Structure 1
Amino acid sequence: MTAPRTVLLTGAAGGLGTLMRELLPSYGYRLRLFDRLPIEGEPDAIVADLADREALRKAVHGVDAVIHLAGISLESTFEKILQANIEGTYNLYEAAREEGVRRIVFASSNHAVGFTPRPRDGSAAIPVNTPRRPDTFYGLSKGFGEDLASLYWDLHGMETVSVRIGSCFPRPTSVRMLSIWMSPGDCARLLHAALTAENVGHTVVYGSSANTRLWWDLSSARALGYEPQDDSEEYAAELIAAQGELDPENPEHAHLGGAFCTDPPAWPY
């Protein structure tokens, strides 16, 4: 697939959106920015909510593809998750369908399978087709988004790569994150591969760097042309010295979703 030139980036004011605003233009993309909050230094950004169908229709008009990062990224009430992550994602897909957009990259999450037991030493990596076991309403909404993407591929021929993102920060901040960390550079590489790979239909991939302690299988991401270049291991000694190794008897450490399975961090708004 020829690299799309104009890409709508929803959630552009968020942490991940801010990182991608800096990195994706180097791949030749012209980004159209969308967020419910104003973005400093970006006067042309579209400031609107995912509930605003008219604004979404204008946002997707004429773009070649969409990277959908917008929504609630922590746990919240079901009502708030329903509006932002479930209805909001549906509104985006409908706007894209109406405007003839053929490729979406959907920010799913490892929390769609968060209650999956984490691999122990010597055990097999978690496959991308492992049964979904959401750990929160947030994780549940990401499973919905994956199914919505599958439906729109089968019904309307709209292609989606659903990326089950681990944790994308400049550096990992916990021992758990050593296994699911994705560097910003690798995130940009994965999104570029998801935008340009041929014949993806609806493809689900895990999103992380090539970490020595990796918990899941990156083969479906690599099949898109993704070649991760970073590894969290350079941060391991420092984090383990400060926090200790993961304890298999600790419920927070027993599952892929970590603290989301026991005491999930709450969305502040």
Structure 2
Amino acid sequence: MQRILITGAAGGVGTLLRPRLARPGRVLRLLDVVETTPGPGEEGVTGSVNDLDAMTAACHDVDAIIHLGGQSRENTIDDVLELNVAGTYTVLEAARRAGVGKVVLASSNHAVGFHSRDEVPEGGLPADASPRPDTLYGLSKVGIEAAGRLFADRYGLAVIAVRIGSWFETPPGVRGLATWLSPDDGARLMEACIATDAPGFRLIWGISRNTRRWFSLAEGEAIGYDPKDDAEAFAGELITGGEPDFLADPELNRAGGGWCEVELGLPMT
């Protein structure tokens, strides 16, 4: 019986992912700070990613971890460091103690938010492009990636950090035509991460096969990710009043979009 631990399982992404990862012979162990109601093939655990004892217990008999828990928006430095960086350290340390060999980390396009489309090489912005965080939240995602590399290099964990674009039911606006990760492709991506036997640390992009993407899919394809969906199906309803200038509009030209201009440390609505 394969057991997958999902942290932050009650959140938006976790809710999209759970039914799509359900399989015969697989148990999804759902961890969140709020109580979850497990369905068939699921186990519920109430706990915090900052509680090492609780996390270590939650990792018992687990084959892989999908770490989604933490702060998902811009906030104060104390908040994003505690929930994202310290929380991710705790998850990785718990995995090490419990003998879990593989951890998938939810990073973000905001770790590289100031990279722009007009500087991208042929083939798209590499998944391992150098950090250029656009916010304190983005800074914390850089810290998450660094923690993953530490545990891969020092302890031999297989760690895949996914720089997620826009993981929603439908693309959130025109920018989403490039950054969208459909719910079904998100599940395909997690399945590829779980199944691969690639060792060490990897960075990959979490996006669909969007016509207007400017992010590389090569690193994900190297571990078996084959996205099927394309945000272009929504272009007709998202683009009104003429074709936007994707290079001249900073919202569309930067990986982080409008996040590059928000005031640091203020929660975003």
Q: Shared topology, TM-score over 0.5?
A: yes
Displacement, 1:156? 0.5
Residue identity in the other structure for 2:9 = A
Residue by residue over 1:124-159, the C-alpha shift from the partner in whole angstroms, topping out at 9 and shown as x without a partner, is 511123211011111111111111111111111100
Residue of structure 2 equivalent to 1:76: 75
What TM-score comes out, normalization by structure 2 length? 0.91
> 1:10, 1:67 within 8 Å by CA — same for their partners in 2?
yes
What TM-score comes out, normalization by structure 1 length? 0.91
Give the match's secondary structure for 2:23: helix
Cα distance in 1 between the residues matched to 2:250 and 2:141 = 23
> 2:38, 2:44 within 8 Å by CA — same for their partners in 1?
no
Higher mean C-alpha displacement, 251-260 vs 217-226: 251-260
Structure-2 change in CA distance of 1:266 and 1:27 (3 Å): farther
Is it true that 1:154 corresponds to 2:153 in the alignment?
A: yes
Residue of structure 1 equivalent to 2:36: 39
Displacement, 1:105? 0.6
> 1:252, 1:262 within 8 Å by CA — same for their partners in 2?
no
Q: Which runs of 5+ in 2 are unaligned?
A: none
Cα distance in 2 between the residues matched to 1:233 and 1:31 = 32
Displacement, 1:211? 0.4
Residue of structure 2 equivalent to 1:209: 208
Residue by residue over 1:10-50, the C-alpha shift from the partner in whole angstroms, topping out at 9 and shown as x without a partner, is 00000000011111013753100001112245695211222
User: CA RMSD of the aligned region, Å?
Assistant: 2.4
Higher mean C-alpha displacement, 40-49 vs 97-106: 40-49
Cα distance in 2 between the residues matched to 1:19 and 1:253 = 26
- From 7, 16, 26, give the equivalent of 1:10: 7
Residue of structure 1 equivalent to 2:171: 172
Structure-2 change in CA distance of 1:139 and 1:258 (3 Å): same
Residue of structure 2 equivalent to 1:19: 16
Cα distance in 2 between the residues matched to 1:183 and 1:118 = 21
Q: Which runs of 5+ in 1 are unaligned?
A: none
> 1:27, 1:192 within 8 Å by CA — same for their partners in 2?
no
Structure-2 change in CA distance of 1:179 and 1:268 (3 Å): closer
> 1:166, 1:207 within 8 Å by CA — same for their partners in 2?
yes
Residue-pair matches, total: 266
Structure-2 change in CA distance of 1:236 and 1:58 (3 Å): same
Residue of structure 1 equivalent to 2:199: 200
Identity across the alignment (%): 41
Residue of structure 2 equivalent to 1:254: 253
Cα distance in 1 between the residues matched to 2:140 and 2:65 = 19
Residue of structure 2 equivalent to 1:96: 95
